């Protein structure tokens, strides 16, 4: 059994929100640089049925129907814009998680990493926001439950921004545990510790300027919840924008912190299949370095 499956697709370069937008195609190229010469598999498209396990069918149809011509773009909100290639990229980003779940739950690989874009953890059931169109991690989780025999899924999010979309999709479902560390106050303004869903949500807000010590202490306190939950699958929302170099927030992590949290997650769920999906990370140098250590840690799973 190969240790690590890497899923990506050239179509994810076609999502272009315009010059100067931080969520740019070069983010994917930075991830590819970190992947290096590791084998890669082409991410498939998610199907409408797979997306509709999370999003209303009318919402899925509306998003996929937005296919501007040429260099035209359509703004869904102040931050989230679709270009001619955005719908295809979004299908590949969600489809990567579906394929990854099938591979790790089927025993072909111990872990998988999805190097795709757009990210997904801000997308609510019927609302795109924060650069995100579909809730990629929840689409993957629902596929694991519907098609792979998994009962309980833990979604763990260390992006610097709260995964409000993920939380909105799962907060009423005790079969999914959602834990998120994030800067607060910060976009999108959610993620307080009092937000607990039906007991399945654990938010770990960190003050601006917090560094690795506070980040590690928060996760050390939270990870016993994962062990006690006894998941059949762990999905990581792997955002690297808590890095000290990142321009969109003010946490002060470095590559060693991302390597540590990856190893800590694996240790909290020994032997459990793991899928990691790229979320944020907007300084290209920091993103490449952080993905590199994350992959090395996943390879030791």
Strand order in the sheet with 201-206: 41-42, 2-8, 109-115, 274-278, 233-238, 153-157, 176-183, 201-206
User: What's the residue count for the chain?
Assistant: 301
Per-residue tokens: 12: 């994810």
Per-residue tokens: 102: 């099938």
Q: What whole-number distance in Å separates Cα of residue 76 and Cα of residue 82?
A: 7
Per-residue tokens: 205: 């807000």
Contact partners, residue 169, CB within 8 Å, separation at least 6: 54, 124, 125, 135, 138
Q: What whole-number distance in Å separates Cα of residue 52 and Cα of residue 74?
A: 23
Per-residue tokens: 124: 């609510």
- Which one, of 274, 236, 273, lies nearest residue 258 by Cα? 236
Instruction: Provide the 10 A C-beta neighbour count for residue 69.
Output: 7
Per-residue tokens: 177: 């545990």
* CB of 291 closer than 8 Å to CB of 30: yes
Q: What whole-number distance in Å separates Cα of residue 259 and Cα of residue 56?
A: 36
Determine which one of 9, 109, 122, 143 is catalytic.
122
Q: Is the dihedral of CA 211, 213, 214, 217 positive or negative?
A: positive
User: Which residues does residue 202 pair with via DSSP β-bridges, in sequence order?
Assistant: 179
Q: What whole-number distance in Å separates Cα of residue 21 and Cα of residue 202?
A: 31
Tell me whether residue 122 is one of the annotated catalytic residues: yes
Enumerate the active-site residues. 122
């Amino acid at each position: 059994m190969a240790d690590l499956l890497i899923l990506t697709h050239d179509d994810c370069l076609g999502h272009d929100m315009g010059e100067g937008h931080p969520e740019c195609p070069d983010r994917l190229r930075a991830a590819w640089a970190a992947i290096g010469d590791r084998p890669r598999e082409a991410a498939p498209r998610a199907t409408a049925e797979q997306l509709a396990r999370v999003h209303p069918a009318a919402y899925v149809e509306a998003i996929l129907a937005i296919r501007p011509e040429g260099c035209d773009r359509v703004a869904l909100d102040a931050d989230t814009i679709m270009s001619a290639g955005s719908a295809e990229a979004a299908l590949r980003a969600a489809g990567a998680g579906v394929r990854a779940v099938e591979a790790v739950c089927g025993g072909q690989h111990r872990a998988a990493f999805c190097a795709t874009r757009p990210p997904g953890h801000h997308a609510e059931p019927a609302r795109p926001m924060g650069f995100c169109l579909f809730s990629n991690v929840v689409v993957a989780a629902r596929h694991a439950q519907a098609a792979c025999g998994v009962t309980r899924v833990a979604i763990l999010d260390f992006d610097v921004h709260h995964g409000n979309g993920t939380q909105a999709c799962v907060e009423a479902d005790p079969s999914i545990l959602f834990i998120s560390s994030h800067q607060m106050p910060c976009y999108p303004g959610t993620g307080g510790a009092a937000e607990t869903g039906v007991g399945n949500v654990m938010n770990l807000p960190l003050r601006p300027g917090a560094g690795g010590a506070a980040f590690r202490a928060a996760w050390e306190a939270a990870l016993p919840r994962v062990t006690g939950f006894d998941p059949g699958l762990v999905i990581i929302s792997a955002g690297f924008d808590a890095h000290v170099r990142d321009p969109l927030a003010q946490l002060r992590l470095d590559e060693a912190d991302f390597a540590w949290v990856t190893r800590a997650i694996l240790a909290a769920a020994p032997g459990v299949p793991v899928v990691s999906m790229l979320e944020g990370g907007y300084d290209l140098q920091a993103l490449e370095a952080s993905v590199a250590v994350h992959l090395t840690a996943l390879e030791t799973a």
